[in-house]
Amino acid sequence: MRKEVFNLKLFLSLIIGILGLIFLFFNFLYLYAPPVAHPYTIFEKITTAHYHLIEKLPLLLRVFFLDFLEELAFLIFLFLSPLAIFLANKAYESTKQNLAIFAMLLNIINLIFSIFIGWVILGLTTGAM
């Protein structure tokens, strides 16, 4: 039986994938259902509650969480997701093949999600609104 070893590449790929999914989800939510004074839909309730939490942070952290991770997350993960797919691919030969496949799938989803959000933002910023 092969010895179970900690695989850093796989670990990083999974972390990028999980963080990506969370941040991209919020990235999309902030566009689709921004925080409002009287939240009506479940999405508005999530972003509004989240915004109230973030609001209490100091400016730089607020900027980091809001602008960079949640509003520009798609840009970050447009680059990080392919990297994470590459890492998962490298880890495929290890004993944790199933996990590697999962990491790859997760990051592929993130990549598609990033492209979609980018497309939406491009539509919003190029003068249609």
Partner 1 sequence: MKLAEITILLLVMPLFLLTTITAVKAAGEAIVTDADSVWHSGLFSASSDAINSTDAPTQNLIKYAFVSHADSVWNSDLTPPSADIIDSADTLEENLFKYAFISHADKVWHSGLISPSSDITDSTDAPSENLITWAFVSHADSIWNAELKESGWEGRQPPEKWSFAIITDLHIGRGYPDYDGQGFEDGYSGEDYYLTKRLKNVVKWINDNKNNIDCDGAKCPIQFLVVLGDIADSAEKSEFLKAKEILDKLNDPNNDGNTSDGIPYVPLFGNHDVWPYTNSNNATSALGERYFDQIFWDENETNTKLMKERLNFQRDKLHKNYKNFVFNYGKINFVGLDFNSRKPVPFGKGIGSDAVAWREECAVPVPSGTTCPYFIKKQEALDWLEKKLEEFEGEPVILFSHHPMKLSIAEAFSSPELSQLREILKNKSVVFDFGGHIHSFEGILGKFPWVANANKEYNPINSTQVITTEALMVGSNGRGVEKATKQNGVVDGKKGIIRIVKVFGTDDIRPNNWETTEKGDEFVGLNPNFDYYPVTIGGSGMPIGYRFVAKYFTERKISKYKWDFGYPIGEKEGEEVFISIDEIQQGINLETYEQTGTGVKIPVKLTLVDEKTQEGESIPRKEKVYFSYAYLIIGPSQNQFISLRNYQKLTVTTENRNGVEALINVSHSPSTSVGIITVNFGEAKDNIDLSELIADSDIEKGKSILYMENWPKEVERSKILFIPKK
Binding site residues, partner 1, CB under 8 A? 8-9, 12, 16, 30-32, 34-38, 40, 48, 51, 59-60, 62-64, 66-68, 71-72, 76, 79-80, 83, 87, 119-129
Tell the burial category of 122 from Cβ atoms under 10 Å away from its Cβ (0-12, 13-18, 19+).
exposed
In the bound state with partner 1, the residue whose beta carbon lies nearer, of 30 and 96, is: 30
If one counts every other C-beta atom within 10 angstroms of the C-beta of residue 44, the result is 18
In the bound state with partner 1, the residue whose beta carbon lies nearer, of 48 and 95, is: 48
d(CA 10, CA 93): 11
| Minimal distance, residue 120 CB to partner 1, in Å | 7
Report yes or no: 78 and 114 within 8 Å, Cβ to Cβ: yes
| Minimal distance, residue 123 CB to partner 1, in Å | 4
| Minimal distance, residue 77 CB to partner 1, in Å | 10
